[in-house]
Amino acid sequence: DAKTTQPPSMDCAEGRAANLPCNHSTISGNEYVYWYRQIHSQGPQYIIHGLKNNETNEMASLIITEDRKSSTLILPHATLRDTAVYYCIAHKHGSSNTGKLIFGQGTTLQVKP
């Protein structure tokens, strides 16, 4: 799986959009971009994933650049409960690989009142 690079920390005001960037310049054509988050003292939680099209679900939106070298996770209206470490992971599915995630250091998002 390709290496990803994220800023170590970010702040966001409650109610505003949180935009979390991720660089994955060496991503291969069959690697998906996955986002997980880990709230303090809990296991990681899936947020969203995509290949090349932008994706949206009830939690977030994922914007992937046309060259797929970077992406942005958007939490449209951040709340205090969104304070967590956010992990961007480039993951290639395969019979022995699917679900086997390689975590980087992630971004610690602090949502402030």
Partner 1 sequence: SAVISQKPSRDICQRGTSLTIQCQVDSQVTMMFWYRQQPGQSLTLIATANQGSEATYESGFVIDKFPISRPNLTFSTLTVSNMSPEDSSIYLCSVAQGGPPNTEAFFGQGTRLTVV
User: What are the residues binding partner 1 (CB under 8 A)?
Assistant: 32, 36, 41-46, 49, 51, 85, 87, 93, 96, 98-106
Cβ-based nearer residue to partner 1, 16 or 97: 97
Q: How far is the CB of 99 from partner 1 (least distance, A)?
A: 2
Roughly how many angstroms between the first and final C-alpha of the chain, as a whole number?
37
CB of 55 to partner 1, least distance (A): 11
Q: Closest distance between partner 1 and the C-beta of residue 103, in Å?
A: 4
Between residues 52 and 69, which has the closer beta carbon with respect to partner 1? 52
Q: Which residues, including other chains, have CB under 8 Å from residue 58's CB and lie 6 or more apart?
A: none
42-49: which pairs have CB atoms within 8 A and are 24 or more residues apart?
A: 44/87, 44/103, 47/73, 47/86, 48/73, 49/91
Longest Cα separation, the chain: 45
**Judged by CB, which is closer to partner 1: 14, or 108?**
108
CB closer to partner 1 out of 45 and 79: 45
- Half-sphere exposure for 21 (CA within 13 Å, toward CB): 9
